[in-house]
Each structure stands twice: as structure tokens, then as C-alpha cells.
């Protein structure tokens, strides 16, 4: 019988929950520590690209049955001022090429489904989720945490998945190394939704949906290409998800706030869209609750993602700018990698647990550091610019693989085709951990 580890995961977001499910299915006892009450997951739409869907499928998550999704069949780029069509990109054949189509989900729906899969009936021991439980201190070598209330918890394996404000990363680097800081960027995002029916039933707005179901529309300001409104469907096409991206210089206030969230409203949204077509301005004026303005963050790649008994994943390790849509999917990939690396662990004495965990986490760092470094640099380049050309030299310093995309149009197929579980199993075979 394979050994069972006691696992603590700090953070109950998409990455933390996916990791909890993966490690539960690998036969371990998992507890998730979530600082919030977990009663209201904020956020709007999320793209489920094939590289993430492959992981969710292996976790027993049938996204077509367990989530009200929408197809993402292609991208339609039009001018924001006069709605002139600039370009199309067709994703309709991805199911045949990659095994999965690109899907879009409403983030709260995905989060709720992951909670159900983690805590409900199924393979392995149900995950325990403790809410209003924040972590104050980390000890990677000892495998211990100090909670905000002073309690000390220990585990065989600790995963830090507690988001961009996490302090865990500085505890997994060598003492002589300085942990790269989280930095705010020039990308800000306004996020809001509208019921699809509200747009379709309004003669001044209905034409905005003429491209058809499954088509994501980019309304881009020209010629500077410094603002664009993204729209795609969620929840069985019942919701239109919108995100207005704007490239703006960082202020001193933004830097002091570390570039996270700032309160905003419809009037600020409409003002940011001046010069857009009147029908788009009407959409903005009718927006459902506008989420806090998001000044996006990033950090330089970490040289490792583990130390001792602890690993960092998702935004706690590698926050990404949203320009390639890789943020959530990279955290899901982290979860898939850990699930594979910690499956079918051999029986061992209690004295060997630390060595066994550290060996598997070493493979995790080897596997994920190059990949998320590539994601980071490609994601730094805004839409409508050539990320492959601009970031190629930086990526090659971290990623030694020969399969890097050669052209901008190859970038998304390259990321979507990746299978992290298959890659993790290859790593284990090379290390002699698979028979």
C-alpha cells in the first residue's frame, strides 16, 4: 500500500483547490487553510484552455457536465471606434487537434465546483477546508506553519497557494539569495458582466453579438493599441463577461499599494472608454457591479519553487500578467504536476519522509521553473505585439527545450498543447522513480 502524507495547503483559490484534489486522489490526507470565509469568490470569466482542461479531466472533473460553460470558438478583433473588422482567429478545430476545446467559465462557478470535488464523495479521503485561517510564518525545512492566531501546525508536505500577497516565496530560496519582489505593471483591468439577453434585446447593442456564439470579441483602440475591451460568453452563454485593458503608467501610489486593487465604478469605466463606439459606451453604462480596478502584478522568475517540505504554486510563486490568459491555467498545471509527482509513493520509514518529499519537490522545481518562466516573459508582452520576438532571448535563458514557439501565431498552440502530467511522469521515469 503506498504511503499517505499529511498535507497542508495555504490558500483555497483555484490553484489551491486543484492541488488539494490532485493530492487527495494521490492518496494523501489534505487540509486547506483559507484566510477568507470562502463565502464569495470574486472574479469574472476565466478561460479553460486545453492544457488546463487536461489536468482537470485527470482529476475526475468533467468540465462539460459539472460546469455551465461556453465554447470559445474564435477571436474577432474589431476597431473600438467604428467596429471595423481587423482580424479573425479560428479555434473551432482545437478539439480534434488537442483533445479539448477552449472553454470559458464564470470564475465563481468553477470555484464552487472545485470545492465540491475536493470535499465531496469520490476517490481518496475528502479534503478538509478551514476558513478564516491565515498563515503568519513558514518553516520549509521543518514542515511547519504558524497561524495568525499563534497556533503551530506541522505536515509532511506544505503547499503555499495563498496568492500574490503571499510571503512564502522568500522562505524557499537559499539564504544568500534575494527573493524577487512583486511589482505592479502598466496594465490595468476593469472587469464587469452583463446578461446576454440584456444586450440581445437592446437594438442599440444587439449587433455587438452578431459574430455568433463562441466568438470572443476584442474592441481595440487604434492606432496606439493601448486599450481594448474583451468580451466572451460564460455560463451556457447566459452571461457576457467583459474586461477593459488599458496600458497606463504606474504612479507612486500604485507602487506603494503594490499594484493590487482600487475601487472604481461605472462612470470611471465609461470615462476610460472615451472614443469607443456609442454601443460599447452603452454597455459600460449598464454594467453590473464593476469589480475593483486591477493593477496587474508580476515578478521575475524564482530560481526554485521548493525547499525542504514546502513548495509554492500559482500567484504565490509566479504571478502573470493576463495578456496570454495563462494565470489560472498555470496554477492548475502546478496542481497536476504535484498530483503526478506524489502518486504511488513507496512505503518508507518515518525518518525517510523528509527525504522522499524533498526529492519529489526537487523534480517539481525542475519541471515547473522553466515553464512558468516562459509563461511569465511571454505574458509580459501586451496583446497585439509579438511576444515571441520581444521575449525570445529572455525565455531561452530559462527554458532549454527545443519546442519553443518560433512565431507569434505559434505561441497559443504551444501553450495549449502542453501536458504537464505527461511531463511529470517523464521526469519521474528519468529519475528512476517509475518502474
Q: What are the residue ranges spanned by the domains of the chain? A: 6-42+107-181+302-431
Residue 223: pLDDT band (50, 70, 90) is confident
State how far Cα 31 lies from the chain centre.
Answer: 21
What pLDDT, on a 0 to 100 scale, did the predictor assign at position 119?
96
Lowest mean pLDDT of 37-41, 125-129, 292-296, name the range: 37-41
Check pLDDT > 70 for residue 143.
Answer: yes
Residue 40: pLDDT band (50, 70, 90) is low
Distance CA 202, CA 211 (A): 16
What pLDDT, on a 0 to 100 scale, did the predictor assign at position 256?
42
Distance CA 414, CA 262 (A): 34
> By the 8 A CB rule, do 243 and 44 touch?
yes
What pLDDT, on a 0 to 100 scale, did the predictor assign at position 170?
92
Q: Provide the mean pLDDT of the chain.
A: 89
Model confidence over 256-292: pLDDT tens digits?
444 456 778 889 899 999 999 999 999 999 988 788 7
Beta bridge partners of 89: 75
Residue 220: pLDDT band (50, 70, 90) is very high
- What is the largest distance, in Å, between two alpha-carbon atoms of the chain? 71
Residue 351: pLDDT band (50, 70, 90) is low
Identify the CATH assignment for 6-42+107-181+302-431 out of 3.50.50.60, 3.40.190.10, 3.40.640.10, 3.30.70.20: 3.50.50.60
What pLDDT, on a 0 to 100 scale, did the predictor assign at position 255?
43
Check pLDDT > 80 for residue 348.
Answer: no
Model confidence over 354-373: pLDDT tens digits?
889 999 999 999 999 999 99
Lowest mean pLDDT of 105-114, 247-256, 298-307, name the range: 247-256
What pLDDT, on a 0 to 100 scale, did the predictor assign at position 276?
97
Beta bridge partners of 79: 220
Share of the chain above pLDDT 90, in %: 65
Cα–Cα nearest to 118, from 44, 54, 56, 68 = 56
What pLDDT, on a 0 to 100 scale, did the predictor assign at position 9?
98
Amino acid at each position: 500500500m503506498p504511503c499517505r502524507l499529511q498535507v497542508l495547503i495555504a490558500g483555497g483559490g483555484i490553484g489551491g483547490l486543484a492541488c488539494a484534489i490532485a493530492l487527495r486522489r494521490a492518496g494523501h490526507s489534505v487540509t486547506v487553510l483559507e484566510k477568507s470565509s470562502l463565502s464569495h469568490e470574486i472574479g469574472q470569466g476565466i478561460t479553460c484552455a486545453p492544457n488546463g482542461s487536461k489536468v482537470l479531466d485527470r482529476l475526475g472533473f468533467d468540465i462539460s457536465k459539472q460546469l455551465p460553460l461556453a465554447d470559445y470558438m474564435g477571436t474577432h478583433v474589431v476597431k473600438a471606434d467604428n467596429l471595423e473588422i481587423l482580424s479573425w482567429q479560428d479555434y473551432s478545430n482545437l478539439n480534434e487537434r488537442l483533445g479539448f476545446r477552449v472553454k470559458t467559465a464564470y470564475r465563481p462557478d468553477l470555484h464552487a465546483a472545485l470545492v465540491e470535488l475536493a470535499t465531496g464523495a469520490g476517490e481518496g479521503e475528502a479534503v478538509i477546508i478551514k476558513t478564516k485561517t491565515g498563515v503568519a510564518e513558514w518553516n520549509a525545512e521543518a514542515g511547519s506553519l504558524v497561524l495568525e492566531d499563534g497556533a503551530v501546525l506541522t505536515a509532511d508536505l506544505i503547499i503555499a497557494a495563498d496568492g500574490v500577497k503571499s510571503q512564502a516565496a522568500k522562505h524557499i530560496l537559499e539564504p544568500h539569495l534575494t527573493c524577487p519582489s512583486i511589482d505592479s505593471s502598466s496594465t490595468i483591468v476593469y472587469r464587469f458582466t452583463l446578461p446576454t439577453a440584456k444586450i440581445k434585446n437592446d437594438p442599440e447593442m444587439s449587433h455587438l453579438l452578431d459574430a455568433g456564439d463562441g466568438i470572443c470579441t476584442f474592441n481595440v483602440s487604434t492606432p496606439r493599441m493601448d486599450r481594448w475591451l474583451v468580451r466572451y460568453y460564460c455560463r451556457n452563454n447566459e452571461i457576457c463577461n467583459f474586461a477593459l485593458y488599458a496600458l497606463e503608467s504606474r504612479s507612486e501610489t500604485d507602487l506603494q499599494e503594490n499594484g493590487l486593487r482600487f475601487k472604481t465604478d461605472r462612470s470611471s469605466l465609461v470615462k476610460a472608454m472615451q472614443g469607443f463606439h456609442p454601443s460599447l459606451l452603452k454597455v459600460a453604462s449598464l454594467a453590473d457591479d464593476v469589480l475593483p480596478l486591477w493593477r496587474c502584478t508580476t515578478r521575475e522568475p524564482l530560481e526554485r519553487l521548493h525547499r525542504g517540505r514546502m513548495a509554492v504554486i500559482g500567484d504565490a510563486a509566479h504571478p502573470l500578467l493576463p495578456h496570454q490568459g495563462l494565470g489560472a491555467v498555470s496554477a492548475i498545471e502546478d496542481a497536476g504536476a504535484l498530483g503526478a509527482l506524489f502518486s504511488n509513493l513507496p512505503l518508507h520509514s518515518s525518518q525517510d519522509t523528509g527525504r522522499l518529499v524533498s526529492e519529489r519537490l526537487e523534480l517539481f522545481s525542475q519541471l515547473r521553473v522553466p515553464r512558468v518562466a516562459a509563461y511569465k516573459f511571454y505574458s509580459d508582452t501586451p496583446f497585439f505585439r509579438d511576444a515571441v520576438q520581444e521575449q525570445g532571448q529572455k525565455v531561452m535563458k530559462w527554458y532549454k527545450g527545443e519546442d519553443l514557439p518560433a512565431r507569434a501565431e505559434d505561441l497559443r498552440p504551444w501553450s495549449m498543447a502542453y501536458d504537464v502530467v505527461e511531463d511529470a511522469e517523464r521526469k519521474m521515469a528519468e529519475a528512476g522513480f517509475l518502474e
